[in-house]
Amino acid sequence: MQQQGGWFQRLLQAGRGHGGMFSALLWAVGLLSLPALAFGADVAPAAATEYRDIPYIGSRNLVWVVAQLHLLLAGFVLGVPIFAWLCEVVAWKTGEKRYDKLAKEFTKLLTSAYATTALFGGILLFLLISFYPKLMNYLTDIFFPSFIVYCLLFLVETATLYLYWYGWDAMQDGHKKTFHIFLGFMLNFFAFFIMIVPNSWATFQASPVVLAEGSDIARAWAATWNPTWWPVNIHRLIANVVLGGYICGAYAGIRYLSARNAEERDHYDWMGYVGNFIGVFGLLPLPFAGYWLMREIYQYNQQMGITLMGGFLSWLFILQAMLIGVLFLGSNYYFWLGITYRIPGSELKYRKSMLSMLIILLLCLGVWMTPHSLVASLEEARKMGGTHHPLLGVFGVMSAKMTVSNLMILVTFMSFIMYWRAGKEETAGWAKAAKALMSALLVLAGIAVVVLGVWGYFVPAIIRINYFSTSQVMIVLFVMLTITPLTALLLKSAKTTTEMVWGKMPPRAGYALVLNAIMVILLMTLMGYARSSSRVHWHVYGVLRDSSQYAFSPALGYAAGIMALNTFLFCMIVAFIFWVATMSDKAKASHS
């Protein structure tokens, strides 16, 4: 493809064509967060035939850390507005002011987090231009029209955020409140497009669609609408909800542990409950979005899929299983603690159910984290008669892993429904029939998932992937989409038998909330590395080869160290943002 000037030249040319003010605007917004945003999620930074390096640290390591921090902050900034807006809508509809207070408390964090995200985006942009000028030139040539769109989206998003936050107290009555709700909706609307535009730049690197001819807009649109663009959009949207919910839960858990009076304990206990509720609500469909993404990767390029799931990156999915397993256990554990301590009398009713679910979760986790191959030496291979363990190898294949992952989702959904219904007595005449139907659906779904999983061992892989695994997903989704509204209808007329008691949760509940947030952050860093490393020695897969000294995927142990570092740094940044945002509250409390 013919190059048409570098990044700086293209921006300046656009600016000259539309006036000096527009040029300055492009520079200001570009330095905040332009295209580097998406490439930053990728571990192997972009490519070119010319590179620069930084002594001792290494250009790739520096870009990796800054990019991952930027991506995590962006996920937080895009996830929290969804969380806050939903809480404000609930307060508006139900009249419960505590939801409005919660929404305002977290919207306050956005102003600091927004600036920090833009700061890291600007740093990342400078690093990519400096270290990988030819790749940036190549991507600019393809995506320049979408850069302009991104600039405009960034401007309207910023204006909407300021109106939403600073107009909160002034827009609390009548039509003003309605307009404020509309602003919150528009904030999330613009945020969605701010997410999907740079996603196209990142997914283009893994599944490029390149046109040699046509207008700039036609080429940019073709590159944008690449095979993995929408799967990544949906996956990241749900992941941002999960991240926002669990980080809000972790914030509440820390504040709960440090609360000085009963009022604070009650408030932050309730806030932790809401955060965990939204986190789990997003977590349940998240594996399905990930499965869709993997299917699209396989369909686009089978070799890339094999590299991810069957090559050297396959061990990453064992780590992923461990992290997701801990996340499922932590979320269920928090639900069970809530049943025990918040709803007096319910612990005896549900104790056996909780024990059964714990056993199922642990067994499923054991299968999910079983590797397909455990061979450490040729001598071991000779003893076993092959590269796979005669027993454990059965559980190391995808048929088993898809089965247990769906079962874990079903069990967690049962905990979700169980906690929702605890302390309430259904009074509707059709309640018994509805409960019998829901129980039958759960049991039949579990049996169907297991039967399809076992049957998957005896059919070709293409049949299992296209029909059996998809059927398992559809069965679980059907159960969730059927039982959730049915439960809501039942509880609409239910009689409350035991009121929720807030502020009585043990300290380990706060620790569980913090653990869940850390697991989500680690998962995001791990999957960013996996997706990026699947391109191996390509910056743009099959189009632009990496010819630098970093034209290799880092070893898993080394990558795990960088992931842990990124997680620690992100937690410190978020803690600093929380601390700064709550300084005024502490000052008011000390004066009152």
Q: Can you read off the two tokens belonging to residue 328?
A: 């499922």
- Same domain? For 511 and 409 the reply is no
- Same domain? For 326 and 438 the reply is no
Residue 26's nearest CA partner among 37, 14, 36 is 14
Q: Which helix (H) or strand (E) holds 450?
A: helix 431-455
Residue 11 lies in a domain: no
- Same domain? For 283 and 317 the reply is yes
- Tokens 């005024």 locate to 584
Residue 366 lies in a domain: yes
CB 64 within 8 A of CB 562: yes
What was the pLDDT predicted at 373?
66
**How many domains is the chain built from?**
2
- Same domain? For 83 and 101 the reply is yes
Range of the domain at 109: 26-341+502-528+557-587
- Same domain? For 514 and 412 the reply is no
* Cα–Cα distance, 251 to 406 (Å, whole number): 30
Mean pLDDT by 10 residues, the chain (592 residues): 38 37 34 37 44 92 96 92 90 88 86 89 93 92 94 94 92 90 95 94 92 88 95 94 92 91 91 90 89 89 84 84 92 91 82 91 91 61 57 78 93 90 80 90 95 91 83 93 90 82 93 95 94 90 91 90 96 90 65 56
- Same domain? For 189 and 148 the reply is yes
DSSP label of 372: S
Residue 14 lies in a domain: no
Positive or negative: CA dihedral 532, 533, 539, 544: negative
Write the burial class of residue 404 (CB in 10 Å: 0-12 exposed, 13-18 middle, 19+ buried): buried
* Cα–Cα distance, 420 to 13 (Å, whole number): 58
What was the pLDDT predicted at 334?
94
Paired strand residues for 495: 425
Residue 273's nearest CA partner among 502, 498, 83 is 502
- Same domain? For 195 and 182 the reply is yes
- Same domain? For 494 and 510 the reply is no
Residue 547 lies in a domain: no
* Cα–Cα distance, 561 to 569 (Å, whole number): 12
539 three-state secondary structure: strand
Residue 478's nearest CA partner among 436, 511, 449, 517 is 449
Long-range contacts of 552-558 (CB under 8 A, 24+ apart): 553/43, 553/44, 553/312, 553/313, 554/43, 554/529, 556/312, 556/315, 556/316
What was the pLDDT predicted at 11?
36
- Same domain? For 195 and 143 the reply is yes
Cα separations in angstroms, 78 against 198, 245, 447, 480 = 13, 11, 38, 25
Residue 130 lies in a domain: yes
Residue 380 lies in a domain: no
* Cα–Cα distance, 66 to 39 (Å, whole number): 11
What was the pLDDT predicted at 571?
95
- Same domain? For 347 and 332 the reply is no
Full-model pTM = 0.86
* Cα–Cα distance, 294 to 231 (Å, whole number): 9
Residue 432 lies in a domain: yes
Give strand ranges (E) for 456-549: 495-496, 538-540, 544-545
Residue 452's nearest CA partner among 391, 397, 402 is 402
- Same domain? For 76 and 206 the reply is yes
- Same domain? For 47 and 180 the reply is yes
Residue 592 lies in a domain: no
